[in-house]
Chain A
């Protein structure tokens, strides 16, 4: 095999094979070093933890294999309720958030009431801890005994999550709207587009694109906060783990519940990272700014 060096100026990509080999060898060496270092770290931590005086007792109460096998299927089944709460809450939050964000951008005096209500809503629900909103709605509204109002704890728990997260997501959308450069509005208006058309065709599409990564972050945290609905009593995964744990005085079900949450959030976190890096490379498109 002979190595052919292309003529200077040839329209090909060319890398010296010797250099390429060196670069690859160095990459292999770095990977190996990383693995060895990681392994050493894990061994040290494991040894240190297993040498602590309380370790055998902790292992028995938190990492009991039999208990894990016995309770895990029940936890998974209960988690289905968390998933349903999440799937119902998420689209509703997006709608509430977008509407509130839009209401806050309206400048016409005619829309002053909408702006005031939207601002109050965001101020209140961003200030009150989510778990308090769940308490107040879940125990408070059914106690009013209003005709036709559902008394279902899951309903009110989900409603509380929607209200609480809606306020956060509204702020995310508002930041997205603000992030669209004013020159984009100017270009749209100079074409004769109305204010409404400018928002609909030029500002909002860009705003939504810009906030996909932070929105995903909020949804990761919503996945976890579905567990807060447990305080109202419905048997979702945390409540299930609580019941299991209190019947045997073994805390392994809690670890099982944690594993289920992690299994769901890790892929979503990676996805959020990916969208973030992608939007960074697209962001500057369209003009100098």
Chain B
């Protein structure tokens, strides 16, 4: 049996009269990994930012867990963001804090956890993602792959129900992409619900339960990876995939 964790219903969003999302629909079940593909500017990042309220919507609604309306004016967005983790393309680690301080900031200040407990959890997560010995380093001493894994750990330390990944490997040296994708794969195995915008098609085919092709601000085509990658129905999807294959 599956239950819906995230429901996006007819969301519109424009920037200066330029429509980016044009009535987008998306449903994500618990423990599912949904991968968003599509050209740059198709609305992947904007959609992810709307889901945790970093961006307001112009029309439509977004529900978390069926009852919390993220898009309502009366919703406490800090409470929503406590349940939704996000990892960015450019890592966005806090450069004035050590790796450990980056990770325990949220649990201590937002969840009100004890210092000792937060540090313990953080160290456990660092070990789990192969970052032993990096706890007291500053972000400028990390490789891109390490920095991105720290960013993943920082989001995980809040024990989110849903994780959003916004092209988290796009800024990485090709040699470092693998270690970050392995971390995401582990989260999927652990049963976390994921929504991920990416250009890594092999990975999408491998890990996704469902692939959504975004085009001009709507989900033009979606389905299991074998279907979307193997037998794309829409001309735009075929064009996008054939361009990638070249």
Q: Which residue of A lies closest to B55 (CB)?
A: A186
The answer on a CB contact under 8 Å between B81 and A191 is yes
For A205, the chain B residues whose CB sits under 8 A away are: 96
For A285, the chain B residues whose CB sits under 8 A away are: 95, 138-140
Q: A191-B81, A191-B154, A286-B94 are in contact. Are A186 and B88 (CB under 8 A)?
A: yes
Determine which of A183, A197, A209 lies in contact with B90 in the assembled complex, contact meaning CB atoms within 8 Å. A183
Interface string of B128-166 (1 = CB under 8 A from A): 000000000011100000010000001100100000000
A201 close to chain B: CB less than 8 A: yes
**Cα(A288)–Cα(B106), bound, Å:** 22
Determine which of A192, A202, A288 lies in contact with B94 in the assembled complex, contact meaning CB atoms within 8 Å. A202
Q: How far is the CB of A179 from chain B (nearest CB, A)?
A: 12
**Cα(A189)–Cα(B105), bound, Å:** 12
The answer on a CB contact under 8 Å between B91 and A190 is no
The answer on a CB contact under 8 Å between A183 and B95 is no
**Cα(A205)–Cα(B98), bound, Å:** 13
Determine which of A190, A191, A194, A206 lies in contact with B105 in the assembled complex, contact meaning CB atoms within 8 Å. A191
For A202, the chain B residues whose CB sits under 8 A away are: 94
B171 close to chain A: CB less than 8 A: yes
The answer on a CB contact under 8 Å between B106 and A282 is no
Q: How far is the CB of A34 from chain B (nearest CB, A)?
A: 35
Q: Which residue of A lies closest to B86 (CB)?
A: A190
B54 close to chain A: CB less than 8 A: yes
The answer on a CB contact under 8 Å between A287 and B139 is yes
The answer on a CB contact under 8 Å between B106 and A286 is no
The answer on a CB contact under 8 Å between B95 and A191 is no
The answer on a CB contact under 8 Å between B110 and A192 is yes
Q: A201-B109, A286-B139 are in contact. Are A189 and B54 (CB under 8 A)?
A: yes
Determine which of B79, B81, B109, B138 lies in contact with A190 in the assembled complex, contact meaning CB atoms within 8 Å. B81
B200 close to chain A: CB less than 8 A: no
**Cα(A183)–Cα(B162), bound, Å:** 20
B92 close to chain A: CB less than 8 A: yes
Interface residues of A in 249-289 (CB under 8 A from B): 282, 284-289
Determine which of B84, B92, B140 lies in contact with A186 in the assembled complex, contact meaning CB atoms within 8 Å. B92
| Pairs of residues from A and B, 10 with the lowest C-beta to C-beta distance, nearest first | A286-B95, A285-B140, A187-B92, A285-B95, A191-B106, A192-B82, A190-B86, A192-B110, A192-B81, A287-B90
Q: How far is the CB of A131 from chain B (nearest CB, A)?
A: 39
**Cα(A209)–Cα(B93), bound, Å:** 16
Count residues on chain B whose CB falls below 8 Å from chain A CBs: 31
Count residues on chain A whose CB falls below 8 Å from chain B CBs: 24
The answer on a CB contact under 8 Å between A183 and B154 is no
A184 close to chain B: CB less than 8 A: yes
A193 close to chain B: CB less than 8 A: yes
The answer on a CB contact under 8 Å between A201 and B105 is yes
**Cα(A183)–Cα(B86), bound, Å:** 12
The answer on a CB contact under 8 Å between A194 and B95 is no
Interface string of B70-106 (1 = CB under 8 A from A): 0000000011011011101111111110000000011
For A289, the chain B residues whose CB sits under 8 A away are: 90
The answer on a CB contact under 8 Å between A191 and B155 is yes
B52 close to chain A: CB less than 8 A: yes
**Cα(A22)–Cα(B4), bound, Å:** 73
Q: A191-B110, A194-B78 are in contact. Are A186 and B54 (CB under 8 A)?
A: yes
Determine which of B86, B94, B140 lies in contact with A284 in the assembled complex, contact meaning CB atoms within 8 Å. B140
Q: Which residue of A lies closest to B49 (CB)?
A: A186
The answer on a CB contact under 8 Å between A287 and B78 is no
**Cα(A286)–Cα(B22), bound, Å:** 34
- A-B contact list, 28 entries, CB within 8 Å: A183-B90, A186-B92, A189-B81, A190-B54, A190-B81, A190-B84, A190-B85, A192-B79, A192-B81, A193-B78, A193-B106, A194-B78, A197-B109, A201-B105, A202-B94, A205-B96, A282-B95, A284-B140, A285-B95, A285-B140, A286-B139, A287-B88, A287-B90, A287-B91, A287-B93, A287-B95, A287-B147, A289-B90
Determine which of B86, B88, B110, B171 lies in contact with A193 in the assembled complex, contact meaning CB atoms within 8 Å. B110
**Cα(A288)–Cα(B155), bound, Å:** 19
The answer on a CB contact under 8 Å between B109 and A286 is no
Most B CB atoms within 10 A — which of A186, A192, A286? A192
